[in-house]
Amino acid sequence: MEINELQAIARTGDRSTEDELFRRLYARFRLFARQRIRNEADAEEVIQDSLKTIFEKYRQIDFESSFAAWAYQVLTYKLKTYLSTRTRHDRKLEEERIKFDGQVSANPEPDLERRLQDCLQQVNRANQRHARILNLHYQGYTVAEICARLKLTRTNLYTILSRARAMLAHCLDTGDSK
């Protein structure tokens, strides 16, 4: 039975048909939403919000075209709202990060900054790969991105990153990169 037919029967109060209607909508919405939202929990939230809206209104509306088209419009609207909110939220986080970074770098300890630069140069001279991984990690690349870029396994990356941090810490403590 088609979704529009299920909706027509469910409007009459048939509970089992209503359950079947929302099971089918959920399955279709899940595929649709997961293609657009990579985070499974967020996709599930958007789907549930859409289904709630549909459940609250589907008995009250006479559909000129089709129930299925209207249901997808509800989902699409909820997806757009989520994505625009997410974009604004991400932009605001980025602005806050820039402000924070600006505050930190505006008043650094000159001696610590000089020692850090010297130690990073020593790590680079001792092992360029270690220095490159530290640099990429500091720039905010994800583990997956660094692994792909340097053709490393996750385990290997974590091992190298641990060693690089240890070298940097040792250098900051003693002034020697060994």
Q: How much is the average pLDDT of 12-25?
A: 90
Q: Is the pLDDT of residue 150 over 80?
A: yes
**pLDDT at residue 136 in the model:** 85
DSSP string, the chain: --HHHHHHHHTTT-HHHHHHHHHHHHHHHHHHHHHH---HHHHHHHHHHHHHHHHHHTTT---SS-HHHHHHHHHHHHHHHHHHHHHHHHHHHHHHHHHHHHHHHHS--HHHHHHHHHHHHHHHHH-HHHHHHHHHHHTT--HHHHHHHHT--HHHHHHHHHHHHHHHHHHHHHS---
Q: How many residues are given for the chain?
A: 178
Residue with tokens 């403590």: 173
Long-range contacts of 26-30 (CB under 8 A, 24+ apart): 26/51, 29/75
pLDDT band at 74; cut points 50, 70, 90: very high
Q: Is the pLDDT of residue 177 over 80?
A: no
Q: The pTM is what?
A: 0.49
Tokens at 161, concatenated: 């990153």
Looking at the chain, the whole-number percentage of residues with pLDDT higher than 90 is 20
pLDDT, tens digit, 9 for 90 and up, residues 90-121: 777 777 777 666 555 555 567 777 888 888 88
Task: Output the furthest CA–CA distance in the chain (Å, rounded).
Answer: 80
Burial of 169 (0-12, 13-18, 19+ CB in 10 A): exposed
**pLDDT at residue 26 in the model:** 93
Give all domains of the chain, ordered by start, each with its CATH number.
Answer: 3-90 (1.10.1740.10), 111-174 (1.10.10)
Q: Which of 78-87, 91-100, 150-159, 163-172 has the lowest mean pLDDT?
A: 91-100
**pLDDT at residue 168 in the model:** 86
Looking at the chain, the whole-number percentage of residues with pLDDT higher than 70 is 93
